[in-house]
Amino acid sequence: MHILIIGAAGMVGRKLTDRLVADGGIGGKALDALTLVDVIPPVAPAGFTGKVATLTVDLSQPGEAEKLIAARPDMIFHLAAIVSGEAEADFEKGYRINLDGTRYLFEAVRREGQKAPYRPRLVFTSSIAVFGAPFPAKIDDTFLSTPLTSYGTQKAIGELLLSDYSRRGFFDGIGIRLPTICIRPGKPNKAASGFFSNILREPLVGIEAVLPVAEEVRHWHASPRAAVGFLMHAATIDLEKVGPRRNLSLPGLSATVGEQIEALRRVAGEKAAKLIRREPDAVIQKIVAGWPSDFNPARALSLGFRAENSFDEIIRVHIEDELGGKIA
């Protein structure tokens, strides 16, 4: 089986690649070839004996998607996007990368299928940013998409296209709305959501972290390991069971910042919790207030998608996967 990962250099893309290589295949089929694509050079995975191509490609340039699809990969993971903040700051770039890039990919698959039958599995990462306030207490599977950002708009359009192209039989698509990934490995960044990870990741290695919002703020989380599990499950699920509504809000853990800190205290002690410095930031507070905080993802649960059940578990996943099982 030949798998194409677009957005392979990102955090989720790298972890997905590692998992596919570690498993040696997916859904009972051996992994023979891997094509890793990103706007920055992807790294070939260690320990993979199959065919690997690592390509630096901007999917939003006309003709690039066709070249990737000419190899007729059996499975496509479309993870590539510019993030919310950048799509908001640069309107044209956001639409070019997140909308046109996605449409070029979908069109390339459709046109390849006109030459000879071709119907790959296509997994698209969407986002809870397709939802816009005001929200019900829990967002269920029939709540409308009214994004309040250009990024959310672009993802919502991607979802609609994915459903229609799937209904038409051009590919077997599934879109998954990832919760906020926590604990995100790496350094603190300027994303408005960064603090959800910073306040756990940094204290776990003895470093101070800044909390810009109140402890009452509630949000929707899943670990990087859970995210990879979602992608693997989406790639192999029986789409007959999913039916025509191909975009799913995934399971996650709804927790307040206070609950995050309590879990940190339980797992790593008071000395870790003390490294969180309160520094209220009105701008971040306002942004976060417009985000979803809780879901009732009944369909995804019934289809077998699973996330963590406690923040203790999310923290332990991080310690196992990123810190070699040890904390400071």
Q: Which residues are catalytic?
A: 151
Contact 65, 107 (CB under 8 A): yes
Spatial contact of 99 and 148, defined as CB atoms under 8 Å apart: no
Binding mask 162-201 for a second copy (x = CB under 8 A): -xx--xx---------------------------------
- Name the helix (H) or strand (E) containing 253: strand 253-256
Long-range contacts of 36-41 (CB under 8 A, 24+ apart): 36/5, 36/8, 36/9, 37/4, 37/5, 37/6, 37/7, 37/8, 37/68, 37/80, 38/6, 38/7, 38/8, 38/9, 38/10, 38/13, 38/80, 39/9, 39/80, 40/9, 41/9
Q: In what order do the strands lie in the sheet with 2-6?
A: 51-56, 33-38, 2-6, 75-78, 121-127, 172-178, 247-249
What character string, x for contact with a second copy (CB under 8 A) and - otherwise, covers 260-299?
Answer: ----------------------------------------
Pick from 146, 189, 309, 310: which binds a second copy (CB under 8 A)? 146
What mask, x for binding a second copy by CB under 8 A, covers residues 88 to 107? ---x----------------
Contacting range for a second copy; rule: CB under 8 A; set: 24-32, 152-160, 199-207, 215-223 = 152-160
- Among the listed ranges 53-61, 148-156, 187-195, 272-280, the one in contact with a second copy (CB under 8 A) is 148-156
**Least distance to a second copy, CB of residue 235, Å:** 22
245 binds a second copy (CB under 8 A): yes
The count of other CB atoms within 10 Å of the CB of residue 65 is 26
Tokens of 96: 């070019």
Q: Does 29 bind a second copy (CB under 8 A)?
A: no
Closest approach, Cβ 287 to a second copy, in A, equals: 15
Q: How far is the CB of 142 from a second copy (least distance, A)?
A: 5
Point out which residues bind a second copy (CB under 8 A): 91, 132, 136, 141-148, 150, 153, 156-157, 160-161, 163-164, 167-168, 244-245
